[in-house]
Amino acid sequence: MFEYSSVIHVHSNYSDGSGEIPEIARYASEVGVDVVLMTDHNTLRPLKDGLEGWYGSTLVLIGTEINDQKNQNHYLAFGIQNTFDNRLSAAEYVSKVKEEGGIGFIAHPFEKRNHMKEHPPYPWTDWSTDEYDGIEIWNHMSEWMEGLTEQNKYQRFVHPLKTVEKPNDESIKLWDKKALERRVVGIGGVDAHAYKQNMFGFFEIEIFPYKVLFKSVRTNIFTKEPLIKDNTKLNYNKKLVYDALREGRCYITNFYHADAKGFRFFAEADGKVFQMGETIPNEIPKIRLRVNLPQIVTEIRLIKNGEFIDSVISDEAIWTINNKGVYRVEVYYDDKPWIYTNHIRFI
């Protein structure tokens, strides 16, 4: 397995972001992001304009964030060639992304922010569909805005990274519940726009420059083959990245606390190794869940079916399990949420 640090859910000047894609890629490269997944609103124009590819050591891939006519049900879609008629319902575009061989993630499903009139909440409302690949369980922008009050706004603007703490509770709950039925991949998004806005009446402020946000919520992915730094190999690289996301071989981490690269969570059973996102056949009686941290001793928690069941303070953990369920791991760095893995299902 080959690990890459990705930043998902980024807007450029092709929609309501302020930056150009090559500039965004440069910022990403400067802070060690391997892959950036762009998601401009309802457009794949940057894809047509040939902006996918390597920029230094960073690979930029282009998806889109689709919404319905009420500007709700935001859906992060990748691996599709065209956007759809904007009169489609959410259930329809979720199906279409799948039909076209793409992958899709429900964005900020329970967004509630209400502190800035120009940025209302955009929750997911159409739960009739069950064809989405995953859920954005942590969205930096949503969390930051939801916690915004008149009293703390200056502090939050000055410390955009310190004020982001953990994934959305309702999203986690839904994710754990759905995982009992099928694989649902959890991802983290930044929702970066680098809005330039007159916030305080007398000077313009850039809300969250890209480079700052790229040091927060990341989704580290595991590909089966190494990415090749060659723009003629774009389809090969895309397939590797999208397969890792589709199959749930990824974990979410807040890079602000520490670089999690080197972290591993997998299961050993019956002489085989099962990765995050995989389902272990139910006839296997004895399973070892293993965690390794990159030379950091901290708290590792095991979560089964959404419930905390054990924790250790170490740079590794091994649990032997016999009971069916969906298992994932949370890691805390100085008591702060740092890593959320995808589930290994034993059902």
CB of 13 to Zn ion, least distance (A): 14
By CB neighbour count within 10 A (0-12 exposed, 13-18 middle, 19+ buried), where does 295 fall?
exposed
Is 74 among the residues that bind Zn ion (CB under 5 A)? yes
Pattern 32-71, binding to Zn ion, x per CB under 5 A? ---------------------------------x------
Write the DSSP symbol of residue 192.
B
Nearer of residues 34 and 65 to Zn ion, judged by Cβ: 65
Backbone φ, ψ for residue 308 (5° rounding): -65, 130
Residues 92-121 that bind Zn ion (CB under 5 A): 107
* Cβ contact 142:168 at 8 Å: yes
Residue 107 or 326: the one with the smaller Cβ distance to Zn ion is 107
Q: Which of residues 173-212 bind Zn ion (CB under 5 A)?
A: 191
Q: What is the closest distance, in whole angstroms, from the C-beta atom of residue 164 to Zn ion in the complex? A: 16
Q: How far is the CB of 146 from Zn ion (least distance, A)?
A: 14
- Number of residues located near Zn ion, criterion CB under 5 A: 4
Residue with tokens 């595991």: 222
The DSSP secondary-structure symbol of 141 reads H
Smaller CB distance to Zn ion: residue 59 or 76?
76
Binding window for Zn ion (CB under 5 A); candidates: 72-80, 85-93, 194-202, 337-345:
72-80
| Least distance to Zn ion, CB of residue 46, Å | 15
Give the contacts of 201 (CB within 8 A, at least 6 positions apart): none
Distance of CA 254 to the CA centre of its chain: 11
SS3 (DSSP) at 221? strand
Gap between the Cα atoms of 23 and 284, Å rounded: 50
| Binding-site ranges for Zn ion (CB under 5 A) | 65, 74, 107, 191
